[in-house]
Structure formats: C-alpha cells, structure tokens
Structure 1
Amino acid sequence: MASTPRRSSLVAILAALLAAVLLPLSTLSAHGADTPLRTLASADGRQIGVAVADNRLTGSTAYSSLVSGQFNSVTAENAMKWDAVEPSQGNLNWAAADRLVAFARANGQVVRGHTLAWHSQVPGWITNGGFGAAQLRTLLQQHIATEAGRYAGKVYAWDVVNEAFNDNGTRRSSIWQDNLGDGWIADSLTWAHQADPAAKLYINDYSIEGVNAKSTALYDLVKSLKQQGVPIDGIGFQAHLVLGQVPSDLKANLQRFADLGVDVAITELDVRMQTPSNATTLASQAEDYRKVITACRAVARCVGVTVWGLDDADSWVPGVFSGYGAATLYDENLQAKPAWAAVAAAFGGSTASPSPSGSGSGSPSSSASPSPSAPPSSSPSSSPLPGGCTVAYRIANQWTGGFTADVTVTNKGTSAIGPWQVGWQFGAGQQVTQGWSAVFTQSGSAVTAANPSWATSLAPGASYGFGFNGSWGTSNPVPASFTLNGTVCTTA
C-alpha cells in the first residue's frame, strides 16, 4: 500500500537513534517511566488506539492487559467487517464485536467501528449472488442500518467508507462503485447518520498521508460532500508506512483537511522494515512513530492515533509484504520496542519502556476513571469575564449505566480567554470515564475540563467543543450550571 522502501543515510539513522533512544534526562517529563500511553494521550485530549484481534483478546491475558492498560481507544481488526457479522444472508453473528464493545466499556475506552462499506471482505453471498443494482443498494443500506443501529451510543466513530480511491485519484472499481455509481459514498454516510446520529462518520484510506493525486481527490470529495450537506465528520489516514518514509508534508496535509471543517485521525499506523530488525532499524522506526504523533499533535482537529495491531506476532505485514515486518510497538513476546518509548515521549512522557506487564504502576484499573494531568502553565483567572459565556451540554447517547455527552463553550466577550477551564457539578453521582478534546479531572461530584495544549486560548465570539463518556446509576440529570474560569455561564 506504500511505495518501495529506500535506504536511509547514515546521518539520518544516527539522528533517529539519538532522537528516539538517547534523549537526555533533562527532557523527561514529570510522568513516571511506567505511565501508560493512554494516560499521556488523555492528558493531551487525544486518543491512542489499537486494532484488536478477537482471538488474542479472549485467549491471552497478557495481550488483553496491554490493550486495556495502554490504550484509550480500540478498533475491531476484523470483527465488525461485513463478512464477519453476516457470513451468510440473514445469519448475523455479533459475538466477537459485542465482546470488544463490552471490553471497551469495562475499561473506559472508546470504540472506532471498522468498517461499514468496503470493496474487500464483502460476504461471498453478495459478491456471487447475481444481485442487480437496486438490490445491492438495498442490501448495503440494510447492512449499515443494522450494524450502526445495533451499536448506536456504543461506537464513538465509524469508518463508514473504506478505500474508495485508486492511487491516481480515480474511483476504485468495486461492487459498490460499479453498480451504484459515485453517489454510493454520500448515501452510505447518510444511512449511517440515520442509524446513529451521534457517531462520528469517517472516510478512511491508505497512501493519502502526503499531498498527492489520491489525497487531493479525497480532499475534493470532502469539500463537495460538505457543500451538499452530507454528514461527514472525519478523515482517517491509515498510515501503513515504510521505514524512513513518513511524508514531509504529513502535518500540512492533515491541516488542509481539518480546514474543511472535519476531524482527522491516524487510523491504522504501522512502520514496516526489512526483517530481521536490529538496533539501528528499530531506532529509525521509533523516530518515524515520533514524527507521526508530533504531526497529529500539531493539528488541533487531529483527534488521535491508532496503531494497527498490538504486536509483531499479530501484524498483517509479513503475510502481505514478503521479507518485511516488525511494524508495531511490541515484539512477538509482547515486549515494548523503542517505538513505544518514542510514542510516549511524543505525548510528553518518559522515554523509558514500560514494565514487562505492559500496564505499569500508573495503569488505569478496569474502572478507568480519568487521570488527573498537569494543569495549564498558568492558572485560569477566576475574575468575572466581561461579556460572559455560554455553555451547551447535550447528552448525545445514553444506555443502561452509561452515556456520551457533548459540551460546547462560547466566549461571549470581546477579549480572548486563556488558559481556560469549564466546571460543573454532577447531581446524581455520575462519573467521567473517558474524555476527548479537553483535560478532565473529577473530585467527587465536581468536574473540570481544561484546555488541551493545542487550544489554550478562546477568542472573542469563538466556541470550542469537547466530549466525554460517563457512567450513571439511578438517574442522569443535566448539570444545573457551568462556569468558565470561575464565571457562571448562561446555559444554551
């Protein structure tokens, strides 16, 4: 899915080694060496996710401990694809997908659904069924409605459409494109929105990390969809990369999509190399991982990074690219590689590897309450804000024992506010279990959501949105009031 690997110069290799492995102690943060990646990413208001294999999740305690301890987001590697959930027409099998959703809930993680409409892993009963265009359209609509509807309120985001373009920017020939025409993408997004209005809806593709014909074709499509009012919330950049080939314009490319008004995410990150690996190639790989995390953190609407597969034993790479592998954060024995340390450092943590158990002393428990993080560099002012503020609090989804809430704060004054934090009191014992786009802390019923490092200022008239998953018991009332830097806001 990416171009042929090229040699790195000796200078580049040495620089990577120094950057990823030999950083001086003075650069280490206050986070401990065992601080989980999920704690570091959550403190930055972002996700660090992993694609999960169902057989490993159920068959290996060491594997499941790493998934729960290190990541705040999970994606089903195969369990939510159409051939897995409906292997024969009308024979629905949700067992593996349900297990992942339940696992995520138990561990305070969000779920990225993957994938609703794709040219691959379409069940044979469809590809060999001799269906006409009208029948195929109905089948696709029913599938999206059934799966997205089943997990409404439980899946944070869906890769609704996967890999719809060729490398030259033309539409990929597929059962959907060839029979339904260009409109199948807009239709799929619309059907997904109807099934779960609160889920974030993505188009996901590979080899779009840099500015090229393929990414530009997708950019033009997103612009057109937005103009038509089609529900599109994000673009997933798979980032199946070759060692030493992180595009130099990755950040700029993420930003140009974000400027269209959509979120961006690195959804399937791995960095493959010729095997066997050695200290030099592993150090170069660590630098590549650092570059990707750094690029995401530099773009306000980059919500996070998901690595595709937990460890090298579970990676898809060797089966597709002969002679290549060692692409993930952990080796075949579930030991962290230098890339793990580079990801931790890129999120502001230590460069030391985690303890062998993978979770470390700072690992969240299964209840996974949000970890307090370092406050903004200067404390928000508690003096009254000229012009005031408004806060809109919306429960986007609710299920037995849990809910998702969206919060939007608006600066109604004529001066910028920063750093900032929004505060409220829960009235019925609710708890924040996982948040995004803000730094959450909770003490008893009191909750604060502080600005992340990439959104320290709220301009006059500007609004900022963030959200969280929470738990509730007997009831889930909306908080009675909200404050911005201590000033009581109008409730919108």
Structure 2
Amino acid sequence: MRSLRTALSLASLVTGALMLFTAPAAHAADTPLRDLGAAKGKIVGTAVTGSKLTGTYGDIAGTQFSSLTPGNAMKWESVEPTQGSFNWTEADQIVAFAEAHDQQVRGHTLVWHSQNPSWLTNGSWTSAQLRSLLQNHISTEVGHYKGRIAAWDVVNEPFNEDGTYRSSLWYNGLGADYMADALTWAHAADPAAKLYINDYNVEGVNAKSTALYNLVKSLKDRGVPIDGVGLQAHLILGQVPSTLQQNIQRFADLGVDVAITELDVRMALPADSAKLAQQAADYKSVVAACVAVARCVNVTVWGFADSDSWVPGTFPGYGAATPYDDNYAPKPAYYSIAEALGGTTTPPPTDGCTAAYGVTNQWSTGFTGEVRISCSGGSLSSWKVNWTYGAGQQVTQAWNATCTQSGAAVTCTNASYNGTVPDGGSVTFGFNGSWSGSNPVPTVTLG
C-alpha cells in the first residue's frame, strides 16, 4: 500500500490528522474464476461448510468456483458417527447446492487416519472385521452419491515425511494393500468417478512425493484403478517449492491427473501489505504451475475466506491464508489467481480512502484518541496506521485495533473483524495515551 502525508492542525483539545492510502478494491475480477479456469481447461474449486452456503458466502461459492469440496461433511466421523448408521445431511446439502450452481463435487475423504468416530478407533477388530468395515463404508458412501461426485480423495495422507507408510488404524490392521482395496471398492461403487490419493508436503520433489510417485506407479502397473494424485498445498508464506511444476509433470507423465486440492498460504499474523503481496505471488506461482501442465486439472482452495479457514485453530499465530478476508472482500491473492488463469482485473482505485486522527479527550497526564478510516470511491481489505510521537507520548491501551509502540514509533493494525472498509463505509479504533508538558500532533502514514 502507498501512503501520502497531509497537513495537520490543532484545535482546542482536539487534534486532526489525515492520511490518504490505497488498497485492493473489494470487488471481483471482471470474469469469475470458474470461467477463467474453464478457458484454460481447469476446474477452480473451494472447500465449503454446508451451513454457510447462504448470503454473501453462498453467492461467492456459487459464482466464483466450478467445484466444491465438503470440508468435513463427508469424513467418516460425520457420515457414519455410529456403526452402520449414516448421516448425509450436510453432505447432501453441499451436493444439492453444487448441482443447483452447475458445479462439480470433489468427495473428501474415504480413508484417513484422522476424524474417525470413536466406535471405530476404539474397537478391537480382527483384520477381517476391519476390512469388512472399510469396504462397507466405502461402498455405502460412494454408492450413495453414484453419478453425482466427479472425483474422490479415496486415500488421504498415507505417508510419513520420510516416505515410509504412516502408522494408522488401516496400515497397522490391513497392511499397505488397504489402499489398493479402497480404490477397487470405490471404483466398483461408482465406475465414473475419478479416484485420487491425496497428501500434504508432496508439492515439490522430495522423499515423501517420491514415495507417492512410486506407489502410484506400482498401483497402475498392477491394474488398480487410480486416476490421479492430490497435492494438498497447505503452504507457508514465501515457501512455494521451486520444483512444483516439475513434480506435477512427473506425475502427469505416469498417466494420471493431478489436482491441487487444499491450497492455502498461511502467514504470521498480523497481515500487512508486504505479506499480502508475497501471498499473492505465492498463489500466482502455484496456479501458474498447474496451468503449465495439461494434466493438472483442478486447483481448489481450502476455504475461500479467512473466516472459514482451519489455519488459526491449528497453527497459533498464523492465519490470513485464503484469497478473501474475514468479511468476504477479495485480497491481492484473489487477483493473482485470476491473472494466473489469464484473466484481467479492474484496477483498484488509487484514492478515495482517508483516515483522521483526533484527540477526543485530554487531561493533565493523559488523553483519549481516535482514528476514523473512511472510504468514498475506494475500499480496503486491511489497514495499518503508523505515526511517531514527538514529545514522549505513550499509548497505554487500544481497542478495535492492535497497537504496538517501540520508542516513539506507534503502529496500529486492524482487528480480525474490521479490516474491510467498503466504499461509503468507515471504521474507527481508539486508544488511551499519556503525555507530559505537550501533546503535539504526530505525522501519520500508512505502512
């Protein structure tokens, strides 16, 4: 973001300061992502929560994406919470929404070491019993959605980081062939669905991705039905593997499709303009790598809005990982995805947002200040205010923003709930401060 300085004035006990700055506009690309993807032969998807598929969330999910992945609704603990008793409520809701919006559904996931019901994980099963339970679950779930699911993540996360098989209920009880069996049963239940093995930290060429490569090659050599590999792509800011496209290509050369299945790019909070710019570059490089390989067929983000992201709950101190902010305003990452798909975007406005700094109350040793950020003819998806005190003032408390002070320098960033300022809207934050002798007006900028 860019900042301008402006004149400041002091009137009675109230100081006023204006700062002008720009940020990405809160509007979508000229062409929806799903249409840009279609022009490149790519499906553009998102994971969703069924209960949220209304209002703005539903509008974005239905308009921007050509594929939906149930974030949790098709996992074993959700659909078979008690043995032999299936609950399809949320999963059916997502499938019906997708069909109403001319979207594909990516089924996720049939065999995983996590999010299994306690009756399954706490049971004492013989290998024959466990195999029967797995076959029944796969046959029932895939059969329930026969003809309505484009692709299934059949097996999820089977490997350790060093490329050895993960110790799990399935591997320990059935051996490595549980994967071949799972794929075979899924194919029998719905021969038209594409079947994938999905894992994380397999985006670049490394021990784990090579183990996955060798497994897929072996399965194909044995005639096991395997149509593709899913590279989850839960990435950290600035750490897109340099061998991503090479890795996608080597799987494609095996004769299988590749999908980026769970893309997000997490950053240490709070977000700022530099981090958001790096995130945009990371998203663009991932999507561009997929565009460059014909058999990379799908790019799915793992939740399109920060308010629906798994990251903060799993990685404390990290977040802001998706293309939209908490309030469903597109971030720079959104525009970079569009550009990687060959689209053009309406340039964000270069002005129209201002912030006014004022002292609303002052007494012998302290004062209360307020900053109001207003937009007219522009909009913001995040903001950060900077100033330097000239007479030893200290911020002692802040609300509706996170404020830090180092020496004389003060930085205030938006809270998780008020980063978006729409055209015609405004937000405020306040603070208490101490002073002695004088309280001159600081020069305010945007960082």
Q: May I ask how many residue pairs the two structures share in their alignment? A: 324
Correspondence 1:228 to 2:213 = no
Q: Secondary structure at the match of 1:330?
A: coil
Give the C-alpha shift of residue 132 in structure 1. 1.6
Q: 1:353 to 1:330 in 2, by over 3 A?
A: farther
Deviations along 1:348-402, whole A, 9 cap, x unmatched? 11133799xxxxxxxxxxxxxxxxxxxxxxxxxxxxxxxxxxxxxxxxxxxxxxx
Does residue 239 in structure 1 map to residue 233 in structure 2? Answer: yes
Q: Could you say if the C-alpha distance between residues 305 and 33 of structure 1 is closer, same or farther in structure 2, counting changes exceeding 3 Å?
A: closer
2:40 pairs with one of 26, 35, 44: 44
- Out of 123, 126, 151, the residue aligned to residue 145 of structure 2 is 151
The normalised TM-score by structure 1 is 0.65
Distance 1:131 1:341 in 2: 51
Match of 1:305 among 293, 299, 302: 299
- After TM superposition, the score normalised by the length of structure 2 is 0.71
Cα distance in 2, alignment partners of residues 139 and 291 from structure 1: 42
Runs of 5+ consecutive residues of structure 1 not aligned to the other structure = 1-20, 23-31, 356-492
| 2:29–2:338 CA contact under 8 A, matched in 1 | no
Change (3 A) 1:354 1:192: farther
Match of 2:50 in 1: 54
For 1:248, what is the secondary structure of its paired residue?
Answer: coil
User: Superposed, which structure 2 residues align to 1:55-204 within 5 Å?
Assistant: 55-57=51-53, 60-204=54-198
SS class of match (2:110):
strand
Q: CA deviation at 1:55?
A: 2.1
Q: Distance in 2 between matches of 1:42 and 1:127?
A: 41
Offset at 1:133? 1.3
Cα deviation 1:319-362 (Å, max 9, x = unaligned): 1111100000100010000000000011111133799xxxxxxx
CA, structure 1 residues 138+286, in 2 after alignment: closer, same or farther (shift >3 Å)? Answer: same
Q: Which whole-Å deviations, capped at 9, do the CAs of 1:142-179 have from their partners, x for residues lacking one?
A: 00000001111000000000000000000000000000
1:36-64 deviations in whole A, cap 9, x for unaligned?
1111111111100000012212xx41100
Deviation at 1:130, TM superposition (A): 1.4
C-alpha distance after superposition, 1:247-302 (max 9, x if no partner): 00100000000100000010000000011101110011000000001000111100
In structure 2, what is the Cα distance between the partners aligned to 1:316 and 1:54? Answer: 15
CA contact (8 A) 1:340 1:353 kept: no
Which amino acid is 1:295 matched to?
Answer: A
SS in structure 1 of the partner of residue 138 of structure 2 = helix
Structure 1 residues 228 and 234, CA gap change in structure 2 (3 angstroms): same
Bigger radius of gyration among the two: 2
Q: Is the 8 A contact 1:34 1:354 kept in 2?
A: no
Distance 1:50 1:289 in 2: 14
**In 1, Cα distance between equivalents of 2:85 and 2:55:** 30
Residue 352 of structure 1 aligns to which amino acid in structure 2?
Answer: T
The answer to whether the 8 A contact 1:336-1:354 is kept is no
The residue number in structure 2 matching 1:209 is 203
Amino acid of the structure 1 residue aligned with 2:47: A
Distance 1:352 1:279 in 2: 19
Relative distance call for 1:353 and 1:270 in structure 2 (3 A) is farther
Question: Given the alignment of the two structures, is residue 35 of structure 1 paired with residue 31 of structure 2, yes or no?
Answer: yes
| Amino acid in structure 2 at the alignment position of 1:339 | A
Partner SS state of residue 131, structure 1: coil
Q: Deviations over 1:118-155 (max 9, x none)?
A: 00011111111212211110000000000001111000
CA distance in 1 between counterparts of 2:345 and 2:244 reads: 24
Letter in structure 2 aligned against 1:290: K
Runs of 5+ unmatched residues, structure 2: 1-22, 350-447
Q: Is the 8 Å Cα contact of residues 336 and 353 (structure 1) preserved in structure 2?
A: no
Alpha-carbon distance in structure 2 between the residues aligned to 1:353 and 1:203:
39
